[in-house]
Amino acid sequence: MANRIHPSILNSNLASLDAEIDRIPSSDGIHIDVMDNHFVPNLTIGLPVVECLRKNHPDAFLDMHLMIEDADTWAPGYAEAGCESVTFHVEAARAPVKLARDLRAAGARASMALRPATDIAPYEDLLPELDMILIMTVEPGFGGQSFLDIMLPKIRRTRALAKKAGLDLWIQVDGGVSEKTIDRCVDAGADVFVAGSAVFRADDPDSVVSALRDQADLRSGHA
């Protein structure tokens, strides 16, 4: 598949989310982090705000990343709100297969995220239930962290498992993605890239989105 850039609004001006989203019209998706101050030590937005964003940006691809406890209870609500992709952390899911099926039944792409210390191997049999795997390349909870190169082998293993199963599985990386790190992610097998600081700290965020996609396409041979 073509490479996708999903800017993270965690690093934007959270008091002006509509305006910030309007600054990145060429993005392939809007990555929205939901944190509950339990699963991770940070607190961000929740379902009521996301419902407003869905209404105000009906054509945007909303890519939800739920860093919350009790994902089984709360994740389906984001799919029912019309979000195109909903990611739950496997560490926070009691019944990940049922949850993935519930998300798909509600019309969303089902995605599973892994903390840096969580191996993909035990979840090989779950991959057919999923549309995307999110490999965290920083510890979840805060933006602006440095990319963890030690996650590259996990990305490679995940891509290899997807190929082994014959799956068209998106592999997303989140954390420290920039023009300095995206080539390594492409080489490892990722094709969906969450970039926060690199995008929203720029004077022209949308130009960064386009530049990152062009860089990834050139590296992967899609240019």
Q: How many CB atoms lie within 10 A of CB 203?
A: 6
Q: Which of 33, 63, 102, 131 is catalytic?
A: 33
State the Cα angle at 90 between 88 and 91, rounded to 5°: 115
Q: Which residues pair with 110 in a beta bridge?
A: 86
Told to judge if 174 belongs to the known catalytic residues of this protein, a careful annotator would answer yes
| Gap between the Cα atoms of 134 and 138, Å rounded | 12
Q: Which of 63, 102, 131, 174 is catalytic?
A: 174
Amino acid at residue number 129: E
Which DSSP string do the residues of 40-82 spell out, in sequence order?
SS-B---HHHHHHHHHH-TTS-EEEEEE-S-HHHHHHHHHHTT
CA dist 198 to 34, 43, 166, Å? 20, 22, 33
Told to judge if 204 belongs to the known catalytic residues of this protein, a careful annotator would answer no
The dihedral over CA atoms of 164, 170, 175, 181, expressed in degrees to the nearest 10, equals 70
Q: Which residues pair with 44 in a beta bridge?
A: none
Closest among 52, 46, 133 to 90, alpha carbons compared = 133
The residues annotated as belonging to the active site are 33, 174
